[in-house]
Structure 1
Amino acid sequence: MSEPWCYRPGDHYVLDDLSGFKVRRSRARTIPGGQTGQALVDGRRWEAQQPQDFVRGVADDQSVDVARPRQENRFTVVGTCVVAPCAAGSGVVAVASTVGFAVGDRIQIMLDRGENVAVVIVEIGGGMLTVAPALPGAAGCLGGGMENMVLKMAQDSSSSSSSLLVVESGVPPGAGAGAGAGAGAGAGAGRLLVREGGT
């Protein structure tokens, strides 16, 4: 409660910042910090400053004395597409380009049924890739580059070149008679899925 109005030399009245009541200056104290920091209140409402209010940040110098730009990130996919239909059991695939492929490379070919099959290149020549084992399904009948992708897979040094990611049971290994002998009859031309640039 506020005190009765009366004059006291050197002890004027102030308003309590929390309650709004008038109190003598001699009875008022200033809260040092926190949410109520610097508030002038009655001594009965005064609260000590919380230890967390004294926390001070430590300077963290993260500058780099020798600043150099990062090397440019490059992501290159070696790929092409099937340009002529090849039936199931065929081991010869006509492609738009053989650049970037080598004998012994593991590649994956998109079949017409939407399945990626992994095979190994055993021979390259005349726009043809001879692969083993033979394809378990038809490829190249859909006529689009995205539907007939042929992608080079990353080489795994811990495994032999004959190991495959996909194993089809009931399909004898070896190259079959190439149903796609017409390498020139393809709607797609050039290599596909080659992208370079920073990420």
Structure 2
Amino acid sequence: MSATDEQIGRNLLRLRGELSQKELAAMMQKRGWKWSQATVWAIEKGERPLRLAEAADLEDLLNLFPNSSPLLESPKRVTVGNEIRGLADAREELEAAIAAYDMARYDLAIKADALTEVDKRAHRDQVVEEIGVPASRVVADAHAKWADDPDQIWHEMVSGKTTAHTFRRIVQESARGEHQEA
């Protein structure tokens, strides 16, 4: 087979992630393709070419960006694309967590209104002890360095000025209230 078939196979292997070959074959069968686990294996090894119509269904099943042809891209671009999708998923999870946090704060405020002043002070101390820095401040501090220029974090990450390890450290320091802006 051609180098392109081998590249497509390697990309399919990366793009299917945790999905097993058998599971992917079953999903393709539901779309009308006569696929088995052996079909997926042969494509991933570059021993069987992937048809264009199959690629379109695969990209849909794997929730890939339309018109981007990730099956034809270089392995490095596929890997970065997967990381970007992972970041987008994490952002959605963060937004859901923030909404849940805000709802919990609202519920607490309603219930706290019924307390006496002495009880409110006691619970205030408990909140400070158990929660510490408000979540909104943790997020704001972690992103303060890049707040003025959204492209700066990407530039610093790819230029090597800020590594993923450094960014993780900044977030952890912010959570502890230790991070100081440079």
Q: Report TM bin, short chain.
A: under 0.3
Q: Which one has the bigger strand percentage? A: 1
| Higher Rg of the two aligned structures | 1
TM-score by length of 1: 0.20
Structure with the larger RCO, 1 or 2 (CA within 8 Å, 6+ apart): 1
Q: Which one has the bigger helix percentage? A: 2
